[in-house]
Amino acid sequence: MSFSVILPDGSKRDFDQAITISDLAHGISTSLGKAALAGKVDGQLQPVDYQLDRDANVAIITDKDEEGLNVLRDTVAFVFEAVAKKAYPELRFGEHAAGEDGFFVDTDKENQIKVNELPELENAVKKAVKAGEKIESVVMPKAELEEIFKDDPFKLELLSQETSDEVKAYKLGDFVDFGFAALLPNTGKIKQFKLLSVAGAYWKGKSSNPMLQRISGTAFFKKADLDADIKRREDIKERDHRTIGRDLDLFFVDPKVGAGLPYWMPKGATIRRVVERYIIDKEVADGYQHVYTPVLMNVDAYKTSGHWAHYRDDMFPPMDMGDGEMLELRPMNCPSHIQIYKHHIRSYRELPIRIAELGMMHRYEKSGALSGLQRVREMTLNDGHTFVALEQVQEEFTKILRLIMEVYKDFDITDYYFRLSYRDPKNTEKYFANDEMWERSQSMLKKAMDDMGLEYVEAEGEAAFYGPKLDIQTKTALGADETMSTIQLDFMLPERFNLSYVGQDGEEHRPVMIHRGIVGTMERFIAYLIEIYKGAFPTWLAPVQVEVIPVNLDAHSEYAKKVRDELNKRGFRAEADLRNEKLGYKIRESQTQKIPYTLVLGDEEMSSNSVNVRRYGTEEEIVKSFDEFIAEIDQDVKSYSRKNR
């Protein structure tokens, strides 16, 4: 036997007998042998006791590699399964996975595992770690595993998907499981870990399947990293828009009356209305014509546009009107705006024609994917489409991008980057087949970005099916990378819908269509705002801007109502707390509700027509004349509550 191993640096090592990955690592250096956690053999992750007996490219995985962290987390998940099975012999297991956010194990038993049971299970894992028990990598007959899991329908279903008669598995004492790429060789190599939460999870993510119990956790090689991650998770929990939305009474979703269909309470509706008015005013000032179009459209329009072919699974079933007409709840607004454009004969003198709408759309989201305001079935998109001549593309693209950046400034959004999203030329099914169109439109976007001197990343395979786009990616407060805004070039839909304008030469010409969304959907954008502000909205956005509190109900209520009414008359959103509660309780309540200004009114304020002002998040109280306060809050609102105003 003779074979060669190619290392990542290109060097080659020859062998005349089989060796393990661990042997290879020790042969390179003693320190690497000690640090080896697993190996990557021709791109496949393998445990350190995996035998090499053929030509292969091999990389040694240590705690410095991203895969090393996944090996650690998979190992903790496996050891957790072993101790949980010992504690609850009737326990069944579903799927498990490890990734950048930790690991999870899906479990099932008659009385599901509760969150208060996690500390005891965590201690059992710690004992296994302290014991340094061996984790053995084995290859077992599929039939033998089927016998082991004969009482576990979930594991049997996973086994049925294995195509080989032999399956790679791992053993810890008497416990066996499969589906792990590589695990640490013994429990003693596990470092820092924590079990985090218990939640429901449908089997394989389908709402029609049984609900299992998902145990989530995380693991790191260093305690400092674990501590930082736990702190990060606590911050995420504080920012969760679903929790804040409930605490501040902004919105709710009730599956009994419709999962994924948010109800906006008065305060949440106020925030949304402020955002909608703001964005409409911005767009109208920038030359957009705002329209209203129906949420229903003949399904043939979506067949013409290509949405039916590409996004049918995300669309609701068509409604048969009984006379051959099939109506569809719209998943996109583009065909509607195309109809607005087509309604008149267009001249080159009119271009660019900018059409915008806060357009309601519907998506056929699965129940398991729904989440607060971020993933819903009904949404309102801040949508717009510009119809331009070819020579106007770059100028219009630049104009749109500048508008987006102005909006970001007003909302104090600073953590974002630009991504040019191109087609994958090999994917002929997803993308409109026209090489010339793709090359021309992609180069146009690139040139526009270069001319503006903006940095960007390029992403192949992220384009829309009809054209390339610029995506503006933001980091949400929860750490996710999300598309906030987009500008998309489209040569295809004008062709499919036979759009034209009369040129200077009197002939018909084909316009280019630019799709753009400034802040995405109202639902997702407001979820984003809730989380970045932690519910403490800047004054211009706050649902209640001023809380007026009389010191004594009998003596000061009338003055409190007078101040409130005058503020409301001037366009500010003010409320007076006239409940029969203690003053301190009312002030704390105003702070809890994160109201920007609290005005406390007593004898001194009433006699001098002044107000005692406390800003949210401070203990400082300042007495000002009512006119001075009006000037302060007016400037606060007009400057979009920017700190440097």
In a domain? residue 350: yes
In a domain? residue 249: no
Please, what is the average pLDDT of the chain? 91
Give yes or no: residues 519 and 613 share one domain: no
Q: What is the pLDDT of residue 478?
A: 66
**CATH code at 25?**
3.10.20.30
Give yes or no: residues 308 and 450 share one domain: yes
Enter the tokens of residue 15. 């062998």
In a domain? residue 245: no
Dump pLDDT digits (tens) for 129-150: 999 999 999 999 999 999 999 9
In a domain? residue 66: no
Cα 22 to chain centroid, rounded: 40
> Reduced to 3 states, what is the DSSP secondary structure of residue 204?
helix
Give yes or no: residues 419 and 508 share one domain: yes
Give yes or no: residues 602 and 503 share one domain: no
Across the range 599-609, mean pLDDT stands at: 94
Dump pLDDT digits (tens) for 242-251: 999 999 999 9
Give yes or no: residues 318 and 355 share one domain: yes
Domain boundary among 498, 533, 568: 533
Spatial separation of the C-alpha atoms in residues 334 and 291, rounded to whole Å: 13
Q: Please enumerate, as own/partner, the contacts of 314-323 that have beta carbons within 8 Å and a separation of 24 or more.
A: 314/363, 314/364, 314/365, 315/362, 315/363, 315/364, 316/362, 316/364
Domain boundary among 40, 61, 82: 61
Spatial separation of the C-alpha atoms in residues 195 and 105, rounded to whole Å: 11
> Reduced to 3 states, what is the DSSP secondary structure of residue 213?
strand
Give yes or no: residues 523 and 579 share one domain: no
Give yes or no: residues 416 and 454 share one domain: yes
Give yes or no: residues 169 and 286 share one domain: no
pLDDT surpasses 70 at 297: yes
Domain boundary among 61, 86, 110: 61
Dump pLDDT digits (tens) for 162-213: 989 999 999 999 999 999 999 999 999 998 999 999 988 888 877 778 889 9
pLDDT surpasses 70 at 127: yes
Across the range 249-267, mean pLDDT stands at: 92
**CATH code at 222?**
3.30.980.10
**CATH code at 328?**
3.30.930.10
User: The dihedral of CA 430, 434, 435, 436: what is its sign?
Assistant: negative
Spatial separation of the C-alpha atoms in residues 137 and 39, rounded to whole Å: 13
Answer whether 77's CB lies under 8 Å from 216's CB. Answer: no
According to DSSP, residue 643 is labeled S
Task: Name which residue leads in pLDDT, 402 or 209.
Answer: 402
Which helix H or strand E contains 553, and what residues bound it? helix 553-569
In a domain? residue 236: no
Is 515 marked as a binding-site residue?
yes
Give yes or no: residues 548 and 613 share one domain: yes
In a domain? residue 374: yes
Cα 578 to chain centroid, rounded: 41
In a domain? residue 238: no
For the chain, the C-alpha Rg in angstroms (whole number) is 31
Is 385 marked as a binding-site residue?
yes
Which helix H or strand E contains 564, and what residues bound it? helix 553-569
**CATH code at 589?**
3.40.50.800
Q: Which residues, 6+ apart, have CB-to-CB distance to 70 below 8 Å? A: 45, 98, 99
Reading across the β-sheet that carries 481-490, which strands appear in turn? 289-290, 353-362, 378-388, 512-521, 481-490, 469-475, 416-422, 457-460
Give yes or no: residues 81 and 147 share one domain: yes
Give yes or no: residues 89 and 20 share one domain: no
Question: Cis omega before residue 352 (within 30°)?
Answer: yes
Question: Using alpha carbons only, what angle is made at residue 168 by residues 127 and 69, rounded to the nearest 5 degrees?
Answer: 50
Band (pLDDT 50/70/90 cuts) for residue 433 is: low
Nearest to 447 by CA among 393, 483, 493: 393
The number of distinct structural domains making up the chain is 4
Give yes or no: residues 446 and 580 share one domain: no
Domain that residue 148 falls in: 72-226
Enter the tokens of residue 634. 């007016």
Residue keyed to tokens 């809890």: 592
User: The dihedral of CA 537, 541, 542, 547: what is its sign?
Assistant: positive
Answer whether 37's CB lies under 8 Å from 45's CB. Answer: no
Q: For the CA atoms of 41, 44, 47, 53, what is the dihedral angle to 10 degrees? A: -40
Whole-model pTM: value is 0.79
Q: What is the pLDDT of residue 369?
A: 77
In a domain? residue 67: no
Across the range 500-509, mean pLDDT stands at: 95
Dump pLDDT digits (tens) for 8-31: 999 999 999 999 999 999 999 999
Residue keyed to tokens 């909608």: 276
